[in-house]
Amino acid sequence: MHKSAPFHSCLLMLLVLLVSFSKAQNSCKLAFSGRVLDYDTHQPLQGAIVRVHDINITNTTDTSGYFIIQHLCAGNHSISISHIGCTTISEHIHFKKNMYHVFELPHLANQLQEVVVSGFKKTQVGQLQQDIREQALEMSRGTTLGEALSKITGVTVLQTGTNIFKPVINGLHSNRVLIINNGIRQEGQQWGSEHAPEIDPYIANKLTVIKGASSIQYGGDAIGGVVLVEPKLLPNAVGKYAELNTAVFRNNRMGVLSGFWQQHLKRQPFSYRVQATIKRGGNARTPNYWLANSGLAEANLSVAAAYQMKNSGHDFFYSLFNTKIGIFSGSHIGNVTDMLQAINVGEPPEYIKKEGFSYVINRPYQQVRHHLFKHKYYQILPNKSRINVVSALQYNSRDEFDTKRFASSSNNPQLSLQLFSASTEMNWEHKLLRKTKSNWGVTASYQQNSYQYRYFIPNYQSMNAAIFFIEKYQWQKWQVEAGIRHDIKWLSAITSNTGKIYKNQLFRGTNGTVGLNYTHSDVWQSSLHIGTAWRSPHINELFSDGLHHGAARIEKGNSQLQPERAYSLALGSQLQTNHWQLSVGLFTKSIQNFIYLNPVYPPELTIRGAFPTFAYTQTNALLYGLDANSEWQINHHLSLLTKLSLLRAKNTTTNEWLIAMPSDRLEQAIKYHFSDAGKWKEPYIQLAILHVWKQHRIPASGNIPFIQPDGTTKWLADYANPPEAYFLLNAEASITHQGRKNKQVIGLVINNLSNTVYKDYLNSFRYFAHEMGTNIALKVKFPFQL
């Protein structure tokens, strides 16, 4: 931490200098006017909403499609234009003088999306729902889905080394966080912390996090929240479009290439998109040594197609995610003594640190493949209601290759898992009463898991059925949303390959939620959400027994675990003026029978090496905290951004803190927008300091012995104490080049600019190594409008 502290002072000095030399704030007298037309007919669209997001000003087009917004300040503004039944257009525009612009909105009469009921608006208040799109999403390209989501306040990541990240929402993760990939619940093998979502982030046009029980419509077990991975809509106007994205990263010398081609046929109501990504990286480096065998290789593909008729249509989607991930050599150690010594020292032995850079991925490593196929059919009925039927098939294959102990050992994986999933959902969107919007539906799913070679979890079959009802009501400044859902889950045919048979498991539960949103004024909104949700124990929590390969630990399940029941309360408020935006969310969750992994002693020695041991147990828990972010626009060039996340997690049974919960964190950034220069548009630079506190809120004692310098034994709750607090200095910059027909976006991102030596509490490899050092990434987007 001492290495980074001077940078905090440097940032404050830079702020003073930029404020001193920035231009005086103008009188904000610019006008933005224009016209909104239908893309296909070129007829004016009356009632289109034009919104300037950063200052929360809106205007509605008249009968001729015209609008005008006055009193704008010079600088960059985020603009959106929306109309019922049309695709919303979002743009960043730099204002230096009065501006007039004509917008053409593609109509969605035949598009495959939800029916929009007049009078309703999508409310995102406080910290209950947030998304990443446009510029922020562009700057995260090339990273994993978990890393991209960590840009959202209240979302952290559960790490395994430098390549595996999964989202943690207000302290909850894995099976408590649902990931919806293009409308389909991602059914990967979430058996633990190192089984990250098998999704290529390049397919996403927007990433949305919905926190808390308001996510009821997506699944009964979304206690932590829901992540929506939403691709760009397929075009409904004749034309061709292509895009190429490149990214290079300095630390592990990783290169990423991703692109897509899409087209709408000239004489057919048919459009399609083909997208692919390849990624290759070598060993990552801490400030002081290389992380041996930490490379990765990835090759992904997706195909989307839509056939759209007047009142019905079909939507198809296929994706393949294929990755090979090296597991850091220093985490697989041959005997218990050496393992405990490595944890005591906190970094790998010299013979591992001496290994330099390499792209070669040796054992131990994992090979993961995930196939997803989706078909959606919709039918608009004469009363304007709509029936949607969505079916999906998924196949997930995971092979785990351990270090060979003998030259004659087989080249086969030491564990091979295959998970097949099939699901279907039918829902009816309609207006039950005036000023209401209803969504009623039923879902059903089937899973079959099988394994080969060594045991970790058993073979099993799972069936799930659910019914849900969601109602929305709009009245003046109030919007009310209520929902109820009932799920039944059955685990059967639970066997091991040695012939052991386990007892079938039947779980059922009901979820309910009520949400209130109130608009006080044009600049102030508030919300209140209360709900209850349940989650049945997952197969690994019940029956795991063996090496969790990627996390480098032994895990033991507990067949006596009971379902979790959560009671949630969330308050949110958002204030937005011309130059200042503040968003605050307060939350609390009381969870009965909370399931968690508890470190136990002694560590276990196997033929594959020695590993720390963890066992699943449950208790009653209380989680509460605060998420807040603000943006102060000092003038049309300079702005200050702040993000704060605080979490407290108590074991109410023992009156102690829960283990493995995110630390408090504060991020402060200064952002400077430069003026456009000819064809170079929207240039900016941003410097940010991330401060992560040491996690002092851990259980006071446990069953793991630690010999102190005076020879006495202290009993700890974990194999190693939480790491020290740390500061990280990060920077990013971006500029757009406007060509004759297309524009290119160039971005530069520098993480850990000061090359700080640190560890993160939520990285399972913190026992054995430090985090990555300085990493510089250059990213370029080339769009082609044909």
Could you read off the pLDDT of 58-86 as tens digits, one per residue? 888 887 788 988 888 877 787 888 876 67
Tracing tokens 């207000």 back to the chain, one arrives at: 170
Determine if residue 216 is left, alpha or beta; phi over 0 gives left, psi from -120 to 50 gives alpha, anything else beta. Answer: alpha
The pLDDT assigned to 579 comes to 84
Task: Look up residue 246 and give its two tokens.
Answer: 């490149």
Contact, 298 vs 97, CB < 8 A? no
Q: Check pLDDT > 60 for residue 586.
A: yes
99-105 and 30-38 strand pairing: parallel
For the ranges 105-114, 308-317, 484-493, 725-734, which has the lowest average pLDDT? Answer: 105-114
Tell me, what's the pLDDT at 445? 96
Helix (H) or strand (E) holding 351: helix 350-353
Residue 178 to residue 687: CA distance in whole angstroms: 33
Whole-angstrom Cα distance, residue 673 to residue 684? 4
- The number of beta carbons lying within 10 Å of the beta carbon of residue 13 is 10
- Say whether 339 sits in a helix, a strand or coil: helix
Cα dist from 716 to 117, 229, 343, 613, 649, whole Å:
57, 40, 14, 14, 18
How is residue 365 written in tokens?
């490593």
Q: Please, what are the domains in the chain?
A: 29-105 (2.60.40.1120), 230-785 (2.40.170.20)
- pLDDT on residue 47: 80
| Mean pLDDT, residues 566-573 taken together | 94
Give the H/E segment covering residue 759: none
pLDDT at residue 614 tops 60: yes
Confidence of residue 41 (pLDDT cuts 50, 70, 90): low
Task: Dig out the tokens for 625 from the structure.
Answer: 């905290």
More confident residue, 20 or 522: 522
pLDDT of residue 62: 84
Mean pLDDT score, 463-487: 92
Confidence tier at 40 by pLDDT (50, 70, 90)? low
* CA neighbor of 281 nearest in space, from 326, 228, 348, 342: 326
> Is the pLDDT reported for residue 54 higher than 80?
no
Looking at per-residue confidence, does 481 or 578 come out higher?
481
The tokens for 350 are: 């010299």
Question: First vs last Cα of the chain: how many Å apart?
Answer: 51
Question: Stretch 38-46: mean pLDDT, rounded?
Answer: 70
Phi, psi (rounded to 5 degrees) for 439: -140, 105
Q: What whole-number distance in Å separates Cα of residue 627 and Cα of residue 629?
A: 7
Q: pLDDT at residue 87 above 60?
A: yes
In this predicted structure, the answer to whether residue 543 has a pLDDT above a threshold of 70 is yes
Strand partners, 530: 514, 569
Higher pLDDT, 66 or 318: 318
What is the pTM for the complete model shown?
Answer: 0.86
User: Residue 620: pLDDT above 90?
Assistant: yes
Please give the DSSP secondary-structure letter assigned to residue 86. Answer: B
The amino acid at residue 564 is E
Query: Any bridge partners for residue 271, and if so which?
Result: 264, 306
Percent of the chain at pLDDT exceeding 70: 91
Q: Is pLDDT above 90 for 420?
A: yes
Q: What is the pLDDT of residue 6?
A: 43
In which band, very low, low, confident or very high, does the pLDDT at 25 lie, cut at 50, 70 and 90?
A: very low
- Go through 280-304 and write b for each residue having 16 or more CB atoms within 10 A of its CB, e for each that does not: bbbbbbbbebbbbbbbbbbbbbbbb
- How far is 3 from 81, CA to CA, in rounded Å? 47
Q: What is the Cα–Cα distance from 550 to 164, expressed in whole angstroms?
A: 9
**For residue 372, pLDDT beyond 60:** yes
Cα–Cα dist 694/153, whole Å:
18
Would you call 786 exposed, middle or buried from its count of C-beta atoms within 10 A (0-12, 13-18, 19+)? exposed
188/373 Cα distance (integer angstroms): 14
Of the pLDDT bands very low, low, confident and very high (cuts 50, 70, 90), residue 10 is very low
Q: How far is CA 324 from CA 327, 368, 400, 544, in A?
A: 10, 6, 10, 24
Contacts of 758 (CB under 8 A, 6+ apart): 1, 723, 724, 726, 728, 770, 771
- Is the confidence at residue 121, as pLDDT, over 50? no
Position 107 scores a pLDDT of 53
Least confident span in 121-130, 222-231, 314-323, 358-367: 121-130
How many other C-beta atoms are found inside a 10 Å radius of the C-beta of residue 451?
19
Residue 415 to residues 176, 197, 412, 751, 775: CA-CA distances in angstroms? 25, 19, 9, 35, 33
Instruction: State residue 189's pLDDT score.
Output: 80
Q: What is the pLDDT of residues 671-707, one digit of tens each?
A: 999 998 889 988 999 999 999 999 999 999 888 988 7
Whether 585 shows a pLDDT value over 60: the answer reads yes
